[in-house]
Amino acid sequence: MANTSLSTILVILFWGLTLATGRKLSPLSTTATLSSPPSDGICSSMVMTQGYTCGEHLVTSQDGYILNLARIRMGESRGPPVLLQHGLFMDGITWLLLPSNQSLAFLLADNGFDVWVANTRGTKFSRQHTSLPSNSSDYWNWSWDELVAHDLPATFKYVHDLTGKKLHYVGHSQGTLIALAALSQDQLLNMLRSAALLSPIAYAGQMTSPLAKNAAENFIAESLYNLGIFEFNMRGGSVIKFLKDLCNNTGIDCTNLLTSFTGQNCCLNPSIVNVFLDHEPQSTATKNMIHLSQMIREGTTSMFDYENRDENMKHYGQPTPPAYDMKRLPNDLPLFLSYGGADALSDVKDVQRLLEILKDHDADKLVVQYRNDYAHADYVMGENAHRDVYEPLISFFRLQ
Ligand SMILES: *[C@@H]1O[C@H](CO)[C@@H](O)[C@H](O)[C@H]1NC(C)=O
Ligand SMILES: *[C@@H]1O[C@H](CO)[C@@H](O)[C@H](O)[C@H]1NC(C)=O
Ligand SMILES: *[C@@H]1O[C@H](CO)[C@@H](O)[C@H](O)[C@H]1NC(C)=O
Ligand SMILES: *[C@@H]1O[C@H](CO)[C@@H](O)[C@H](O)[C@H]1NC(C)=O
């Protein structure tokens, strides 16, 4: 039974696609606090019911995306702000899936932190744009480069300006990639107090996930893009058929698809599956999937490659895309990094490549945790994560 549910997750989680479907857009003001959070928003549905103070804020990125940020506190606590940034196919609810005494967002609030939960462009609560409807190809014309250049800086600045304090940051998966990329370009540093990276992805060339690797090697995202499918929507109806075809044609064992994607998670309680399916997975841009596939195929971490000299020249002024140079991360930035021995997306070898670069990092500014039994989803859905990962993470923040 657990196996079937996990398979279902993955079928939906990973490989589905539909054309962007029409969604009604309601007019919303830009950067502002919502005076009363929408009844189906994160605050009303997931947070206030647990007895926490919660407010939803809208932040407009420089390129016009209107992002929803949920602020969670115990009472009116004015502790240090922490920004939580979810990964690919997820949204801010990532941090609220576990029971309240096991979820990172609530545990941070319990410990007096001022918690800010980000929602990446294109996910359920952040589908508005100042001019583009979310069913247009222009709306989906971005990869994680734009999350580095626009979403993160807008979100950081909003929280920093409003609280007047530097932020702690927690990223999972793609949420670590975009932070590392931004920091490698000297962005955000003036607003950042420390960063915790869970399932860090600085490189993806050693990724072992059969499903992700196969999709990259078979140029699946490129094919979809060429078919005019710009929103990569895993809840779509063609997902399952597509995945089955993939499994049939590549000989992947699809009996446990979640494992095929994330690695063997040690610590998921089967009941988390239903909670997960109520909220996730979320859409991303097909162009973003292409960008991630380039990282897997090439083992490099560079800006989006147009695979065309002239296009690259036009965008970057050089024939190949500029690299994000992880060597440029400042040595004195307080970093907490946790990676899992069973993680097929954030592979141990790829993490070690990052650790090798961090070997000159100030020893008292770097905490590295290795969980032999953890895979990708354990970091946000594992029933022991509060004890294994979140407690040491919170202790780390307290020292910074
Ligand atoms: C997008 O949605 C709007 C409003 O729902 C609709 O009028 C329009 O035809 C849709 N456009 C596309 C390209 O599907
Ligand atoms: C969380 O709360 C539940 C219900 O009150 C309790 O059974 C469980 O032991 C608690 N877990 C932790 C980690 O405190
Ligand atoms: C995306 O934007 C670029 C310009 O930056 C444009 O050349 C391209 O056609 C756009 N693609 C889509 C699918 O809208
Ligand atoms: C997969 O292959 C089997 C046997 O070759 C076939 O019966 C089945 O219909 C195929 N499934 C799909 C979804 O193509």
Pocket flag, ligand 1, residue 22 (CB < 6 Å): yes
Best residue among 21, 24, 127, 135 to mutate for probing ligand 1, ranked by most atoms within 8 Å of CB: 135
pLDDT value of residue 358:
97
The ligand minimizing its distance to the Cα of 20 is: 1
Pocket flag, ligand 1, residue 153 (CB < 6 Å): no
- 147-to-79, 142, 251 alpha-carbon distances in Å: 27, 8, 35
Q: In whole angstroms, what separates CA 232 from the centre of its chain? A: 15
Best residue among 101, 103, 269, 394 to mutate for probing ligand 2, ranked by most atoms within 8 Å of CB: 101
310 catalytically annotated: no
pLDDT value of residue 27:
31
Kindly list the protein residues whose Cβ atom lies closer than 6 A to any atom of ligand 3.
137-138, 141, 230
Spans of the chain below 70 pLDDT: 1-37, 236-258, 273-274
Tell me if residue 25 falls in helix, strand or coil: coil
Pocket flag, ligand 1, residue 24 (CB < 6 Å): yes
Pocket flag, ligand 1, residue 18 (CB < 6 Å): no
The ligand minimizing its distance to the Cα of 240 is: 4
| Residue 82 CB partners (closer than 8 Å, separation 6+) | 108, 113, 114, 115, 116, 167, 168, 169, 170, 397
pLDDT value of residue 233:
86
168 catalytically annotated: no
Interval between CA 6 and ligand 2 midpoint (Å): 24
**Lookup result for tokens 């980000």:** 118
The number of beta carbons lying within 10 Å of the beta carbon of residue 387 is: 11
Which residue has a Cα nearest atom 4 of ligand 2? 101
173 catalytically annotated: yes
Q: Which amino acid is at 54?
A: C
Domains in the chain (CATH in brackets) are 2-14+30-399 (3.40.50.1820)
Structure tokens at 177: 């990639």
Average pLDDT, the chain: 88
Interval between CA 128 and ligand 1 midpoint (Å): 14
Which residue has a Cα nearest atom 14 of ligand 3? 138
Kindly provide the b/e burial profile for residues 247-267, where b requires at least 16 CB atoms within 10 angstroms of the residue's own CB.
beeeebebeebbbbbbbbbbb
Catalytic choice (173, 199, 283, 302): 173
- 288-to-4, 33, 140, 146, 225 alpha-carbon distances in Å: 29, 29, 9, 9, 10
Rounded CA separation 132/127 (Å)? 10
Closest ligand 3 atom number to CA of residue 141: 1
Rounded CA separation 52/397 (Å)? 21
Closest ligand 4 atom number to CA of residue 241: 13
Question: Which has the closest alpha carbon to 118: 65, 181, 164?
Answer: 65
CA dihedral 332, 335, 340, 346 (to 10 degrees): -80
The number of beta carbons lying within 10 Å of the beta carbon of residue 237 is: 11
Rounded CA separation 50/95 (Å)? 14
